[in-house]
Amino acid sequence: MQTNNPKSLELAPRCAWRPLFWEPVAGTGERLMVGLVHDFGGETGTARIIRDDVLDALYGKAADGVRRLLEQALQMYLAAANASSLGSVGVSMMGLHAGDLRETEVRSLTELLHVAALLYSSLANMDKLDELDEADAPQQEDVNRRFSTEVR
């Protein structure tokens, strides 16, 4: 199959990232992916992807404190990555453990978050990630029109 669209032949830019795991009960070895630190488009950033309802179920009234702890740990990873490089941020900080450095070809930050969540986390907030691409989704009226056309 050939195409005349030169954009379709371009490779997506490579993005370096590390998953960040949290061991809620120290010493058990059970780790949950709570976020990632990434270098997308030349900018370093972090994202928390663990769902709020998971933290609420695990910690009840103390979940707000856990959320603040995780956000502060993500900020520490961001500061460390900005001070050196993403490659050298493979250490544990504030209860989070950095996974192996990965490189993925993605076209958007949302696509990167989806890849990371699908690879490492069943506790990710996929709905929140999908909201970032909501503008690209067809409107319900378009879906209904297409369905009724195809059924006829």
pLDDT recorded at residue 28: 84
Residue-wise pLDDT tens digits, 81-128: 999 988 889 888 988 999 999 999 999 998 999 899 888 876 666 665
| Tokens 């630190």, residue located | 37
pTM, entire model: 0.73
Q: Coil, helix or strand for 133?
A: coil
Exposed e or buried b per residue across 96-130, where buried means at least 16 C-beta atoms within 10 angstroms of its C-beta: bebbebbebebebbebbbbbbbeebbebbbeeebe
Residue-wise pLDDT tens digits, 21-47: 998 888 888 888 999 999 998 899 999
